[in-house]
Structure 1
Amino acid sequence: MPMENTVLSINWGEILPRETGLFFRHRWPEYATRYGLPFSRGTLQNLDSEGRGPEAVVVAGKVAYHRESLVEFLNALPVTRPSKKRVGAAA
């Protein structure tokens, strides 16, 4: 039975707590564990340096993201289904 071609999405606005106004990059591993955020802190640093990450601010020398900017960035990420191909299988 073929699967319908559906668009997958995650609404990060429903996942990230509204009471947290700023998400600090140095705490990214904690957020990744708690909320299932993608990327490592290093990948996020690279995205920032390339101008492709969420809009950042610096607070007391620490890079942070306003919740709204982070949600907008995360919601724009593509969401796909995993490949059915087995790892190590012959092509």
Structure 2
Amino acid sequence: MEGSRKERAGVTYPTYPWSSKQVLVTGGASFIGSTLVDALLDRGASVRIVDDFSSGGMRNIEHATANGSVQLLRGDLRDPDIAAQSVEG
């Protein structure tokens, strides 16, 4: 993995170049999932969200899905068809 290094609170750690990467976020409409989606988009990643909306809400990701870098799959990963769709491409 190629990237730069960043320092925070006296600790140096590597950063990862997210641009041109596609990331699958399960539960992306939840509070934590949507925060992760926003962070990945800010870093240039393309994001695919799989969520069954059992605890999250569309309101958490409406702004992100307006971005062309987000694909939303509504469903449960226990469903073989949803699982297959989530990793296509």
TM-score using structure 2 length: 0.26
Structure with bigger strand share is 2
Structure with bigger helix share is 1
TM-score using structure 1 length: 0.26
Of structures 1 and 2, the one with the larger relative CO (CA 8 A, separation 6+) is: 1
